[in-house]
Amino acid sequence: MACRKGSYAAATLIRIRYNKPPRRSLLRSPDRNSTGACYQSRVGPLEWIGPSTDEEIRRAGKDGVSLVVAPISFVSEHSETLVELDLDYRCLAEIAGVPSYHRVATVGVDPSFIRSLATLVNRAVTGRPA
């Protein structure tokens, strides 16, 4: 299987070991799970901050851990989430041997997100809490 090579989108990876039932593992065994930010959108020859998302996916495959990918830099779905995270990185995860790969949806127009944005704008404009 060959993956398409492309640019990157910012994401947070949650590495999950299912040595116990998932809920218990996530809630009571943080030493068996880890979270971390990885960086994307690398353009050009300049050195970029890391680790890169593809490095972290390969590491998860080597370590035999599942991944939950959350595109924290994006509030809406678009090519960097729908193609790169859903297709390209899923493909890389399969090739790397990641047991399970899950991508969290962006917040989009979720009502609670929109209310939070409105509150922040109101505070910025009026100088007082909403």
- C-alpha to C-alpha distance for 42 and 58, rounded to whole angstroms: 18
25 is a domain residue:
yes
pLDDT digits (tens, 9 = 90+) for 58-94: 998 998 888 888 888 788 888 878 888 899 999 999 9
Of residues 8, 87, 113, 86, the one with CA closest to residue 54 = 8
What's the domain range around 107? 11-126
4 falls within a domain: no
pLDDT at 24: 38
CATH number of the structural domain spanning residue 91: 3.40.50
Answer whether residue 2 is part of any domain. no
Extended strands (E) in 17-124: 34-38, 66-70, 101-103
Once rounded to an integer, what is the mean pLDDT over residues 97-108? 91
pLDDT at 81: 82
Distance CA 72, CA 24 (A): 25
Q: Total structural domains in the chain?
A: 1
Say if 101 falls within a structural domain: yes
Is 64 a domain residue? yes
Burial group, residue 107, by CB count within 10 angstroms (0-12, 13-18, 19+):
middle
Q: What does the pLDDT look like over 30-54, one tens digit per residue?
A: 445 577 777 666 667 777 777 888 8
CA-CA distance, 70 to 79, in Å (whole number)?
15
